[in-house]
Copies of this chain bind each other. A is one copy, B any other.
C-alpha cells in the first residue's frame, strides 16, 4: 500500500466568485480573490492510499462512507490518474499507482455545524493528497485546475496568503487557475474573525444560486464585465501595497455587489438576514474614525471580518460587546447587550497553503483509523 497525507485550508473570498460560464468545468464568469485562513483553526486533513488489494475507490468523510460517484469527483480522479500514467510511462520502474483503486479518508478540524462551506478545503486536500501520493511534477497552479473542477473555489485553497483565481477565457479551462497574489509572509498580521450566524431557513445552494443569477439578473452582466475586472486589479494592488483601508473598501463593496445581484435575481436570492445587517452596521461603527475592519459575506448569513493584528483589541472589543456571550473568543473583553443571532465565533488569521503531513488517517489494512 502506498499513501500520502496532506492538510488544506479554507479560503474566504474578498472578491467573490459568483457565476459559471461552464458548469461542468466550473469555469467562472469573473476572476476572484481570497485570503487563505490558518489551518490551526480550519483545515481538512486527507489521506490518500493506493493498493492492488483495494477493489474499488472509496471515500470516508468525517467518519462516514461517502460516494465518489459524482461527476465532479470523477473528473478530478480521472485527471490525476492521467497525470500519474504520464509519469509512469516516462519511468517504467515506478509502481503503477494509476491503475490501482484509491482509499481516501478525510476529516475536518471544525464542526460542520459551524456552517462553513468545507468543499473548498475538502477538494484542495483531496487533489493535493493524491498528487503527493502520485508524486506528480505539476505545480500548484496546474493542480488548481483540477481542484477547480471539483469545486470552483477549491482552486484558491491550493495557495496560502492572498490568492487570485484568474478566470481565463479558454473553452477547455486550461487558463482558469489559481495564482499567488502575495504569500502569507507578505502580510502575516492579517486576522479574521468568523461570526457564525444562526438562520432558520435553508440557503439556496451556491451552484443553483449562481445559475439563477446568471440567467435572470439584469445587473449581473455589468457586475462581471465592468465592476469586477476593475476591482480585481485594484484589490491586487491594495494587497501588494498592504493598503488596509483600500482593501477594506473593495472587499465590503464587492460583498455588497455580490449580494445585490443575488437580490436582483428572479426570484430573488437572499443570503443576508437581519443579524448579518446588524453586523454590517457594527463594522461601520468600528470604522467610524479609522478603517480597521472589513466585512464579507459568502452565500449565507455568516460574516467574516478581516482586520490587522495591530487593531485586534479595538475590533474584537467592539464585537465582544454584542457577542461576548457566544463561544469561541480567545480573550475576554467587556460585554454589554447580548445580541441574538450569532451562535459562535471563530478567531483565526491568514494562513499557509496545503501542507504534507505524517499524520495518517488510514491504517495498515487500508481502512480509516
Does A142 touch B at the CB level, under 8 Å? Answer: no
Chain A interface size band reads 20 to 34
Question: 1/0 per residue A256-281: CB within 8 Å of B?
Answer: 11011101111110100110010010
A219 touches B268 (CB 8 A): no
Chain B nearest CB, measured from A314 CB (Å) = 19
Does A227 touch B at the CB level, under 8 Å? Answer: yes
Chain B nearest CB, measured from A28 CB (Å) = 19
Secondary structure dominating the interface of A: helix
Pick from B218, B227, B257, B268: contact of A227, CB under 8 Å: B218
Q: Which of A273-302 contact B (CB under 8 A)?
A: 273-274, 277, 280, 284
A263 touches B260 (CB 8 A): yes
B264 touches A218 (CB 8 A): no
Given contacts A218-B226, A253-B266, 6 further A-B pairs with CB under 8 A are: A218-B222, A218-B227, A219-B257, A256-B263, A260-B263, A274-B274
Chain B nearest CB, measured from A165 CB (Å) = 21
A-B contact pairs, 7 of them (CB 8 A): A218-B226, A219-B222, A219-B260, A222-B222, A263-B263, A268-B280, A273-B277
Most buried by B among A252, A259, A274, A284: A274
Does A223 touch B at the CB level, under 8 Å? Answer: yes
Chain B nearest CB, measured from A95 CB (Å) = 54
Q: Which of A121-147 contact B (CB under 8 A)?
A: none
Residues on the B chain within 8 Å of A260, using CB: 217, 219, 260-261, 263-264
Tell me the bound Cα distance from A217 to B219 in angstroms: 12
Chain B nearest CB, measured from A179 CB (Å) = 25
Tell me the bound Cα distance from A227 to B217 in angstroms: 10
Residues on the B chain within 8 Å of A277, using CB: 270, 273
Does A312 touch B at the CB level, under 8 Å? Answer: no
Most buried by B among A260, A261, A267, A273: A260
Tell me the bound Cα distance from A252 to B277 in angstroms: 23
Q: Which of A44-89 contact B (CB under 8 A)?
A: none
Chain B nearest CB, measured from A163 CB (Å) = 23
Does A249 touch B at the CB level, under 8 Å? Answer: yes
Tell me the bound Cα distance from A354 to B260 in angstroms: 37
Tell me the bound Cα distance from A223 to B217 in angstroms: 11
Tell me the bound Cα distance from A266 to B295 in angstroms: 13
A284 touches B267 (CB 8 A): yes
Q: Which residue of B lies closest to A225 (CB)?
A: B222
Residues on the B chain within 8 Å of A257, using CB: 218-219, 264
Chain B nearest CB, measured from A251 CB (Å) = 11
In the A-B complex, list the 5 residue pairs whose CB atoms are closest, starting with the nearest: A222-B222, A260-B264, A260-B260, A218-B227, A260-B263
Known: A219-B227, A227-B219. A266 touches B256 (CB 8 A): yes
Residues on the B chain within 8 Å of A219, using CB: 219, 222-223, 227, 257, 260-261, 264
Residues on the B chain within 8 Å of A267, using CB: 252, 280, 284
Tell me the bound Cα distance from A263 to B277 in angstroms: 10
Tell me the bound Cα distance from A219 to B356 in angstroms: 44
A266 touches B249 (CB 8 A): yes
Residues on the B chain within 8 Å of A253, using CB: 218, 264, 266
